[in-house]
């Protein structure tokens, strides 16, 4: 069995956020058959252990994280990399979105993150697919 965060890619999301919850479900339903991606709530024990291994700047970021091929990414860089686990018609958007400069992507990410709890209700139970 692969260890979480060592040989396996992991998406760390806010377990109390309706948007994050829906995002995990959206990605999971559209993943390719060979996509090896685990989901974890950021406040879970294994997620906190992973975050402790990140560069200090990333450890203090209150954001979404993705560990892809052993490297950690945050904010919009993490969000758009989630496209790479999805079927081709979603994955094809990655290079186009990547062309948008990082500061602009992160501003858009910050606006969405700031308003996510107003728009998306908190799930009763965090049901990220844990595998």
pLDDT tens per residue across span 83-127:
999 999 999 999 999 999 999 999 999 998 888 778 776 666 655
In a domain, 32, yes or no: yes
Q: Which of 4, 26, 8, 32 is nearest to 120 (CA)?
A: 26
What CATH number did the domain enclosing 108 receive? Answer: 3.40.30
In a domain, 126, yes or no: no
Find the mean pLDDT for residues 44-56: 90
Question: For residues 5 and 53, what is the distance between their CA atoms, to the nearest angstrom?
Answer: 10
In a domain, 4, yes or no: no
Lookup: tokens for 129: 């697919």
Banded model confidence at residue 21, pLDDT cuts 50, 70, 90:
confident
Sign of the four-CA dihedral 103, 71, 89, 28: negative
In a domain, 13, yes or no: yes
Distance between alpha carbon 10 and the CA centroid of its chain, in Å?
8
In a domain, 22, yes or no: yes
Contact 41/126 with Cβ under 8 angstroms?
A: yes
Quote the number of domains for the chain: 1
In a domain, 130, yes or no: no
The whole domain housing 87 covers 9-119
In a domain, 52, yes or no: yes
In a domain, 129, yes or no: no
Lookup: tokens for 50: 């992973």
């Amino acid at each position: 069995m692969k260890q979480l965060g060592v040989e396996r890619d992991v998406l760390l999301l806010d377990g109390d956020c309706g948007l994050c919850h829906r995002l995990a479900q959206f990605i999971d339903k559209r993943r390719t058959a060979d996509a090896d991606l685990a989901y974890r709530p950021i406040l879970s024990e294994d997620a906190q252990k992973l975050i402790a291994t990140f560069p200090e700047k990333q450890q203090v970021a209150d954001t979404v994280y993705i560990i892809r091929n052993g490297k950690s990414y945050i904010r919009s860089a993490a969000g758009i990399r989630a496209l790479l686990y999805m079927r081709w018609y979603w994955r094809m958007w990655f290079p186009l979105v990547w062309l948008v400069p990082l500061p602009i992507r992160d501003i858009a990410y910050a606006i969405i993150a700031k308003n996510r709890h107003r728009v998306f209700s908190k799930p009763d139970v965090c049901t990220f697919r844990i595998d």
